[in-house]
Structure 1
Amino acid sequence: MKLNGPQLGKLRRIVTDLYQYPELQRTLSDRFDQQLHIWVEFNAGYETQVQTLLQKINNKGWIDRLISGFQADFPEDEALLKFISELDMLIRQPAAQQGGRPGLERVLNAAPSINPANFLVGLARCKRCVCRIDISTTEGDFSGTGFLIWKDLVISNYHVFQELIETPEKVQSILCKFDYELSPDGNTINPGMDVRLAAGQPVIAYSKFSPLDADPPENIDAAWTKGELDYAIVRLERAVSEEPFGIKQDQVSQAPARGWIDITSVTALPKPGNPIVILQHPDSRPLEMVIDLSGITALDPSALRVRYSVNTEGGSSGSPCFDEKFGVIALHNVGDPKQWKPTYNQGIPMVRIAEDLRNKQISLDI
């Protein structure tokens, strides 16, 4: 990825507004093992130094990684987010596909992922909480998606963690990979950070999936059961939410904390015709977003399942589903089992998961 002259000028103005020389030097050192004085003339003015730095890094071909480092330092700066949105760095557009294993996710149409500027602050807050879950067992390897819901807690589907819960002796390793992202041209911005689960018994809470999830009925108005919500919450080996994020986050001395997505205070059910946004690691790929501004299509009468028209694939299980304000509304779990022309994907309303935790008297603050 390379920027043109006007883009470099705009980025220079943003950088000089966000950083003084010492802070810029610290970011280069912590995240990229670089020294600012190696790139610029010491006696030049600061704006000239920044322009020189950006031009040289742009010529070297890693300006996208540098911008990603800026975003990790200032995840909610509107000028920076708007600039990133114009470059389309936050989202890759997946190609539409058909097929896959029955009962799992499906690409439903060829609509691309989009990146509206007014979503950027919410997107920046939420995307850093999403992780790819890589599971290795004696019977094979597979992946899902999950997200932070407390300092050291991740939620995903029960069926993603099923072996860990039911046959832990078969599990060889489980890793949660955060910050795994690509630039639009396919270059790796960040290979991600792997975090293991806590030793001992990491499972905090769960609800099994329904037999109907394994072979979803055509009509959502089925006999769904309250006690079968297909979720599991696990504890990580450390409080990742309190740490910095982004490129070389383990070497950064001063940066915002990652944070988490609150699920316990959710009170609103998704409504047919409303927007839906999903952040996911489909087919083990780097983080992607899909959105449909009227994508919610149906709820069953008890509001135990919600269906929508946005694309998912294998590996998307456990992805967070949001409304247009990035309030979390559902936990994605399955797709239309039809091999030809699938018509829906499906999730668990987050209200029901929050209710289940309260009914079980399970607090995440433990």
Structure 2
Amino acid sequence: MRMRLTGPELGKIRRAVVLTYGGSGHSLEELNLALTDYIDCKNVFDYVTVNQPFDLQVASLLKRANGEGWLPGLIGALQQHQSESADLQEVLHTILTTASARQVVGLASGSPELPAETRAQLQAILPGGGTILDLTTLQRRIRCVCRIDYADLNPPGFGSGFLVGPDLVLTNWHVMSRFLEAPPHAQIAKQLRFRFDLLKRTDAVDGKGRVAEAKINGGSPILRFSPAAGMELRGGTGEPGRDALDYALVRLAERVGDDPLPGGRSGEIRGHVKLRASMPLPAQATALMVLQHPMRGELQFAIGTVLGPNMTGSRIKHTAATQSGSSGSLVLDASLGPIALHNATRRGGDRENQLFNTAVPLTRIVEDLKSLGAIGLLQE
């Protein structure tokens, strides 16, 4: 997906929004609810002329969001707000190349409950038409991803993460920075919640799923971390180097990875992503998939392409349509192999002329763990 869209694509999105929201006498107010509920510091009335027809107001809103780089977040917010809208669902599939994890599992398993239209849309956007997705591996990848909440915040959803050991979660440093920057002996670590198995929208909204807490025992649950740097920080400049990888490794209070695999065969366990001493470096122009909890919602796949490395080799650039809450997501290659940790969205430079997303190659994190002497965390 290109991070900025063309006129015909914007026209298709506009029609979907008008069909979804235009039948009410309070269409603009309802549209604004979606923004204020799911996107910080955004208000529809800052982007439209109140006395215009609704379709022109939607066109103005989409144009601004597209130009400023928050169109994927806008569409995600609308879809979360109007989850039953088939028109918005089609936009997610065909333009944002995003699909729910449940739908992808339905395609891989040949479920007769998956509508034919949805099946065709997924086959059009997934690598290899979805035929190369091994169902067992797919289920394991899905079940090792969690939404990270702070229970004392409302709404609580803050980021994503994934198991790299039976009781170890890898996420971004900036997702954990609220805890890391807190005064000594603060109670923030006790507010951390790691919610697995949020495959249904209702479970995500209600904060259900398999919930684990951080292991504290009088100390920090964070075993290792490397901060973000450069332009990823407010007021910063330049590319982050290989000593600034925006990751945090968190110890859980229980071995969630040893759980029986939900929906699996007898004896199968949830498992985890294995950080090996040698990890593949994502290759330019290859397909990738981000397994994420955008907008505090249910688990989703965002499909995109590797654009290549940044100047320092500490990040890869990609085009998958991530949104707020996607920080710390697992990035997979076309065969579901783990390759990176999603971490940010960037505004492109003069030659790039578009937004792109960044992720930290897992091989760089492995190198950092080796340099810290944390060899025991790696698996051959």
TM superposition score category, shorter chain reference: 0.5 to 0.7
- For 2:280 and 2:311, locate their aligned partners in 1 and report how far apart those are by CA, in whole Å: 15
Larger radius of gyration: 1
Q: Secondary structure at the match of 1:124?
A: helix
Candidates 177, 184, 192, aligned match of 2:195: 177
Contact 1:155 1:231 in 2 (8 A): yes
2:230 corresponds to which letter in structure 1? Answer: P
Q: CA RMSD in A?
A: 3.7
Matched, 1:279 2:297: no
The AA in structure 1 aligned to 2:170 is I
Percent identity over the alignment is 28
Aligned to 1:233: 249
Confirm whether residue 167 of structure 1 aligns to residue 182 of structure 2. yes
Q: Say whether 1:348 aligns with 2:360.
A: yes
Q: Tell me, in whole angstroms, the C-alpha distance in 2 between the residues paired with 1:330 and 1:154.
A: 14
323, 343, 347: which is aligned to 2:333?
323
Shift of residue 211 of structure 1? 3.1
Letter in 2 for 1:227: D
* Equivalent of residue 118 in structure 1, options 102, 127, 132: 132
Q: Match for residue 111 of structure 2?
A: 84
> Could you tell me how far apart the structure 1 residues matched to 2:235 and 2:318 are?
14
Query: 2:132–2:335: 8 Å Cα contact kept in structure 1?
Result: no
Q: Tell me by how many angstroms 1:161 deviates.
A: 0.5
Deviation at 1:326, TM superposition (A): 1.5
Is 2:227 the partner of 1:208?
Answer: yes
SS at match of 1:358: helix
Alpha carbons of 1:310 and 1:86: their partners in 2 closer, same or farther (altered >3 Å)? farther
Report how far residue 166 of structure 1 moved.
2.2
Q: 1:85–1:116: 8 Å Cα contact kept in structure 2? A: no
Provide the C-alpha distance between the structure 1 equivalents of 2:107 and 2:359, rounded to a whole number of angstroms: 33
Matched-pair contact (CA < 8 Å) for 2:108–2:133:
no
| Alpha-carbon shift at residue 226 of structure 1 (Å) | 1.9
Equivalents in 2 of 1:180, 1:88: separation in Å? Answer: 22
Give the TM-score normalised by structure 2: 0.59
Take 2:297 and 2:354, find their aligned partners in 1: how far apart are those partners?
22
Matches of 2:147 and 2:334 in 1, distance apart?
23
1:244-255 superposed matches below 5 A: 244-246=260-262, 254-255=266-267
**TM alignment of 1:32-181, pairs within 5 A:** 81-84=108-111, 87=114, 116-121=130-135, 122-136=137-151, 141-167=156-182, 169=186, 171=188, 173-181=191-199
**Runs of at least 5 residues in structure 1 that lack an aligned partner in the other structure:** 1-77, 93-110
- State the distance in 1 between where 2:227 and 2:209 align: 30
Q: Which has the higher helix share?
A: 2
Question: 1:134-180, CA deviations, whole angstroms, 9 ceiling, x for partnerless residues?
Answer: 01457984410000001100000000011222216161501000001
Give the TM-score normalised by structure 1. 0.62
Q: Does 1:311 align with 2:321?
A: yes
Q: Is the 8 A contact 2:241 2:313 kept in 1?
A: no
- In structure 2, relative to structure 1, the CA distance for the partners of 1:336 and 1:216 (3 Å cut) is farther
